[in-house]
A and B are shown apart, each in its own frame.
Chain A
């Protein structure tokens, strides 16, 4: 995951604000909602300061903007990767040093939605090597909104939640300003550079960003080089906003991302290139009537091209090329309104996406072997969402949310359809109509200024992913099986109960704990089909996606923020997830209990941060998938930073040592038993003007 991997940008560290918006008014439907806003307070969210501030005030300012809110704002030493992976409920699946995939409460890929500014986008890699998050640069991001659970989401039907990356908007009435960032890290001789410029007049504003990174293979805690772990990447973006005479906003975004030679030590293949092109136009109308606050219209298109190959690998039984691509077009209209005590949001959205991937195996002097792994699959999807947050009493807020979505999924390739006749499917099976519903009710009650409690019951359904429906012998290196989709797979359904309690006696202490329990019907999982040979050399067999009942997920997380005196802050967090199938067997890729303690202090203007990270061993593994247990580990990180405000420029220098003790470790969600980086010394400099 790219964001998580980000360690470069000084700017990000200086501006990240952690807003714990546990019952954020903005996200009416979620039982838990956290946002990373890099400048709520700078009033530059979109640019119309007064107007938007009103919106902000009504939507985002709330009593939760407390000590935790200020923690990361004041202690911005964390890289985005650490911030994300430390968020409650979030863990990262790691296949290499690049493009980590987020999981929410143990749920991943098709079970959660990842979007960029509300745009649906789909990775083009059949092996999930390019989650959408890998195509955005952290310094293009204004915030990351995380929604957990399946109670009805503006971002699409889901059982697990959503991650939405909000892009930065340029500011009106600003002089030319910009920043240059450089970073070096020792463990991979990694260098990254980026530059950002913004310029705004009364009626228009524009922002540009360009970044370059080059990372070599890194060294793990045993001093061994981890081969095939380097990568290179270029990213450009251009955004503009125009203010119409009617005080509405017309904006556009263009993003180009071009990563090359990406090594995946956890996989038998690497990626020659992963390229994304993203374009969007949006139009926002403010206060068309007294009770409608905002209408946002957006149209977008994106394209991802991805080529997996093994040309850099020395020892392979056959050479393989696996190109893949996705195209997605979509749009939405979203209306926010307030009537009395009701804050209502509704959204009509649709997209059409096409996924195509193929595999060719080459043996000298033999016929090429070719198959379609995503046989030209189209999905046309339309959804409607509505939520109502009702402040029933001063102490009680109730949020109801509902989403209905209909999708047609078609396999267009004749060869692909022929491939599936091998399993006895007929032509009529290659067009699937599915309707999914999500709804939820969440209650929040404040007994007193100190105590707040929340209770939520949600029901979520999700569409099966392209791979789960029409994937054809997709090799998964995690368990060593080929996976075959099932055209007759059913949608996954989940009923979810969540509860949380927060205690905040004052500015110095904040404590909150939340728990969840999810029941699944028709949980989608790959089960071994002994009658099917694996197509990949060395694979252990073939699994076919099937629906199973009786899967449950449960877990909790807790956080304590304590500031005994002004110059010292402590944040402790703890999270754990437990997942089991109907027979009491463990499900794979469930992170173990993990906790984290961060201390921050300032000495003579130098901010110093010490962090400890502990994870228990994960011995509760899924034997059927061949999952391996992971040992416990403890890590220490040390960071320091200092800022100088000079006449025309400001400087921000930071450095630190990650994995100070050079511990030899891996996290449970890491693929292929590949160890994580050993001791890493990094330094970065940001020059702003």
Chain B
């Protein structure tokens, strides 16, 4: 079934691709919502950050898009934006980064560049910025920009951090808002804080999940434990048999040793 879905998905992508090839003027930000913008110093360029509709930047794993635009609002498809998120904490003034990932920008795909970031605290604890290096290949422009952003605390926690002797582990549930009754793809990210600036993905752990409905004392059948896919992302399947409040119990093991036991609440 999964394979079929994959094939279908690729087919759909291919069709979408074919269509977009015929339309050079298609706005790559279609269906996305603009959340932050900043002018690039010493240029006429502007950087715009987009989120999927209905989303805001929240503590936990965030998937977002950015694009470089000229003064006429034309998207620079041959631009490359690489970024480092930075937090300056309120009282101490201490600065640190967070786990972030930049997806390879496929210029031919006519799509905005995609990013992933695990924000570990909300803007109430300090100020968040994205430090962005800009390269525009056509005009051979290079520059830097700083984009201030606001990170909210979500209603239901979707990231948890656990103390670990080699550096704290940060475990995030990707897009739990999309969960519905039935069988769901489950995606977790695991990162480790080596230093304040280095938060690499952890790829070699074993993850076990067990969903549970605490009010009723039952679980759900046929869940599949997430296994590592890429960049610290672990993919599995989680099943929910009814609406209500569910808890996904997560056990993370290194070989046979349990490293962490944690849980995420999910409201359906």
List the interface of chain A (C-beta within 8 A of B).
Answer: 318, 359, 361, 363, 366-371, 415, 417-424, 426, 472-473, 531-535, 537
7 inter-chain pairs at a CB distance below 8 angstroms, sorted by A residue, are A318-B216, A361-B215, A369-B243, A415-B181, A418-B182, A419-B242, A424-B1
Binary interface encoding of chain B residues 212-225 relative to chain A, with 1 for a CB under 8 A from any of its CBs, else 0: 01011111111000
Nearest CB of chain A from residue B121's CB, rounded to whole Å: 27
> Complex formed: what's the CA distance from A368 to B245 in Å?
8
- The residue that B243 contacts in the complex, of A318, A371, A420, A531, with Cβ under 8 A, is A371
Residue contact B222 to A369, C-beta cutoff 8 Å = no
Given contacts A318-B215, A531-B221, A535-B216, are A418 and B244 in contact (CB under 8 A)? no
Given contacts A532-B221, A535-B218, are A422 and B242 in contact (CB under 8 A)? no
Residue contact A537 to B217, C-beta cutoff 8 Å = yes
Residue of A nearest to B221 (CB): A532
Residue of A nearest to B217 (CB): A537
Given contacts A415-B182, A423-B222, A426-B1, are A535 and B243 in contact (CB under 8 A)? no
Residue contact A369 to B221, C-beta cutoff 8 Å = no
B240 CB contacts on chain A under 8 angstroms: 422
Residue of A nearest to B180 (CB): A418
Residue contact A368 to B244, C-beta cutoff 8 Å = yes
B182 CB contacts on chain A under 8 angstroms: 415, 417-422
Flag whether B189 is at the interface (Cβ < 8 A).
no
Flag whether B198 is at the interface (Cβ < 8 A).
no
6 nearest A-B residue pairs (beta carbon): A418-B182, A369-B244, A371-B242, A421-B183, A533-B218, A422-B239
Residue contact A369 to B215, C-beta cutoff 8 Å = yes
Interface centre among B220, B221, B242, B244 (most CB of A within 10 A): B242
Excluding A361-B244, A537-B217, 11 further A-B contacts by CB distance (< 8 Å) are A359-B242, A363-B215, A367-B243, A367-B267, A371-B243, A423-B221, A424-B1, A533-B218, A533-B219, A533-B221, A537-B216
> Complex formed: what's the CA distance from A533 to B242 in Å?
13
Residue contact B218 to A419, C-beta cutoff 8 Å = no
> Complex formed: what's the CA distance from A423 to B267 in Å?
21
Nearest CB of chain A from residue B182's CB, rounded to whole Å: 3
B180 CB contacts on chain A under 8 angstroms: 415, 418
B239 CB contacts on chain A under 8 angstroms: 421-422
Residue contact B216 to A422, C-beta cutoff 8 Å = no
Flag whether B249 is at the interface (Cβ < 8 A).
no
B267 CB contacts on chain A under 8 angstroms: 367
Residue of A nearest to B268 (CB): A367
Residue of B nearest to A370 (CB): B243
Binary interface encoding of chain B residues 1-36 relative to chain A, with 1 for a CB under 8 A from any of its CBs, else 0: 100000000000000000000000000000000000
- The residue that A369 contacts in the complex, of B1, B183, B216, B220, with Cβ under 8 A, is B216
Nearest CB of chain A from residue B124's CB, rounded to whole Å: 26
> Complex formed: what's the CA distance from A421 to B267 in Å?
19
Flag whether B241 is at the interface (Cβ < 8 A).
yes
Given contacts A419-B241, A422-B183, A426-B1, are A369 and B213 in contact (CB under 8 A)? yes
Residue of A nearest to B220 (CB): A422
Nearest CB of chain B from residue A49's CB, rounded to whole Å: 60
Q: Which B180-198 residues sit within 8 Å CB-CB of chain A?
A: 180-183
Nearest CB of chain A from residue B167's CB, rounded to whole Å: 36
B220 CB contacts on chain A under 8 angstroms: 422, 533
Binary interface encoding of chain B residues 166-185 relative to chain A, with 1 for a CB under 8 A from any of its CBs, else 0: 00000000000000111100
Nearest CB of chain B from residue A640's CB, rounded to whole Å: 55
B221 CB contacts on chain A under 8 angstroms: 422-423, 531-533
Interface centre among A359, A361, A472, A531 (most CB of B within 10 A): A361
Residue contact A370 to B244, C-beta cutoff 8 Å = yes
> Complex formed: what's the CA distance from A367 to B242 in Å?
11
> Complex formed: what's the CA distance from A520 to B243 in Å?
39
> Complex formed: what's the CA distance from A426 to B221 in Å?
16
Residue contact B241 to A371, C-beta cutoff 8 Å = yes
B245 CB contacts on chain A under 8 angstroms: 366-367
The tally of CB-CB contacts under 8 A between chains A and B is 76
Nearest CB of chain B from residue A356's CB, rounded to whole Å: 16
> Complex formed: what's the CA distance from A369 to B267 in Å?
10
A534 CB contacts on chain B under 8 angstroms: 218
> Complex formed: what's the CA distance from A361 to B216 in Å?
10
A417 CB contacts on chain B under 8 angstroms: 182
B241 CB contacts on chain A under 8 angstroms: 371, 419, 422, 472-473, 535
> Complex formed: what's the CA distance from A532 to B221 in Å?
6
Nearest CB of chain A from residue B140's CB, rounded to whole Å: 51
Residue contact A418 to B181, C-beta cutoff 8 Å = yes
A535 CB contacts on chain B under 8 angstroms: 216, 218, 241-242
> Complex formed: what's the CA distance from A532 to B216 in Å?
14
- The residue that B244 contacts in the complex, of A366, A415, A423, A531, with Cβ under 8 A, is A366
Nearest CB of chain B from residue A430's CB, rounded to whole Å: 12
Nearest CB of chain A from residue B156's CB, rounded to whole Å: 11
> Complex formed: what's the CA distance from A376 to B148 in Å?
50
Residue of A nearest to B213 (CB): A369
Interface centre among A366, A421, A426 (most CB of B within 10 A): A421
Nearest CB of chain A from residue B54's CB, rounded to whole Å: 20
> Complex formed: what's the CA distance from A415 to B216 in Å?
20
Residue contact B215 to A366, C-beta cutoff 8 Å = yes
> Complex formed: what's the CA distance from A423 to B239 in Å?
9
A371 CB contacts on chain B under 8 angstroms: 181, 241-243
Q: Which B90-140 residues sit within 8 Å CB-CB of chain A?
A: none
B242 CB contacts on chain A under 8 angstroms: 359, 369-371, 419, 535
Nearest CB of chain B from residue A282's CB, rounded to whole Å: 44
Binary interface encoding of chain B residues 78-89 relative to chain A, with 1 for a CB under 8 A from any of its CBs, else 0: 000000000000
Nearest CB of chain B from residue A371's CB, rounded to whole Å: 4
Residue of A nearest to B243 (CB): A370
A419 CB contacts on chain B under 8 angstroms: 181-182, 241-242
> Complex formed: what's the CA distance from A423 to B213 in Å?
18
Nearest CB of chain A from residue B236's CB, rounded to whole Å: 14
B217 CB contacts on chain A under 8 angstroms: 537
Residue contact A367 to B222, C-beta cutoff 8 Å = no
A415 CB contacts on chain B under 8 angstroms: 180-182
> Complex formed: what's the CA distance from A533 to B239 in Å?
12
A370 CB contacts on chain B under 8 angstroms: 242-244
A318 CB contacts on chain B under 8 angstroms: 215-216
Given contacts A371-B242, A473-B241, A537-B217, are A424 and B222 in contact (CB under 8 A)? yes
Nearest CB of chain A from residue B244's CB, rounded to whole Å: 3
Residue of B nearest to A533 (CB): B218
A531 CB contacts on chain B under 8 angstroms: 221-222
Interface centre among B220, B221, B239, B267 (most CB of A within 10 A): B221
> Complex formed: what's the CA distance from A426 to B267 in Å?
25
> Complex formed: what's the CA distance from A418 to B218 in Å?
19
- The residue that A422 contacts in the complex, of B213, B222, B268, with Cβ under 8 A, is B222
A421 CB contacts on chain B under 8 angstroms: 182-183, 239
> Complex formed: what's the CA distance from A417 to B244 in Å?
18
Nearest CB of chain B from residue A321's CB, rounded to whole Å: 13
Nearest CB of chain A from residue B64's CB, rounded to whole Å: 28
Binary interface encoding of chain B residues 147-170 relative to chain A, with 1 for a CB under 8 A from any of its CBs, else 0: 000000000000000000000000
